[in-house]
Chains A and B, each alone.
Chain A
Amino acid sequence: DVKVTQSSRYLVKRTGEKVFLECVQDMDHENMFWYRQDPGLGLRLIYFSYDVKMKEKGDIPEGYSVSREKKERFSLILESASTNQTSMYLCASSPNQGKTANYGYTFGSGTRLTVV
């Protein structure tokens, strides 16, 4: 069963801490994404990557960075956690267009981060 695995389901961190959210996919997908989901705001794109060592800012990159050293792993880093970063974080992956007829995103189960 192919999947996207996020390292933690729930996480509680203190304000100012550096936080690492890990995401691993086993589908050999080229593309990986980080979204945050908040009530009433839907899914908002933080960062994405179309290749190893490549990263692009999404719609809300402020306060975040990412790392993609290997194709299967895409890490989201909160440099100095703040309370307004309390949210559900969703990682997703997809194949390149043209490699398959359907290139829907496969999401991980999410990490619910609380910053206190």
Chain B
Amino acid sequence: GQQVMQIPQYQHVQEGEDFTTYCNSSTTLSNIQWYKQRPGGHPVFLIQLVKSGEVKKQKRLTFQFGEAKKNSSLHITATQTTDVGTYFCAGQSGNTPLVFGKGTRLSVIA
């Protein structure tokens, strides 16, 4: 079945440093979504990418969808302590349920 791999599993950064997490699917996706889960919280939807090569920005967050629609990345510029949490990518093919990556846990050292 479809698999979504996400790296790295953990990332520790100094406040102000940049952070990137990468996502790869075993199959071509119709869309990819990104979620953030704060410690003790539940996943919260951040964004959806649909088009090949699409790039979207939300303030300091930049999301990319690969040309082949099999990979994606989330980049955070100048991390802040409020960015702490686990970031999940989730891929979808057609009308099947989302398949989640295992997430990247981000720690930010002030």
Q: Which residues does A use to contact B, with CB under 8 Å? A: 33, 35, 40-43, 45, 48, 50, 58-59, 90, 97, 102-110
Assembly CA distance A24 to B70 (angstroms): 33
B108 contacts which chain A residues (CB < 8 A)?
A: none
Q: Which residues does B use to contact A, with CB under 8 Å? A: 1, 33, 35, 41-48, 88, 90, 95, 97-103
A43 lies within 8 A of B48 (CB): no
Given contacts A43-B43, A48-B97, A97-B95, contact A102 B48 (CB under 8 A): yes
Total inter-chain residue pairs, C-beta < 8 Å: 44
Interface of chain A: mostly helix, strand, loop or mixed: loop
Given contacts A42-B88, A42-B102, A103-B48, contact A90 B43 (CB under 8 A): yes
A109 lies within 8 A of B42 (CB): yes
A110 lies within 8 A of B102 (CB): no
Assembly CA distance A103 to B35 (angstroms): 13
A105 lies within 8 A of B45 (CB): yes
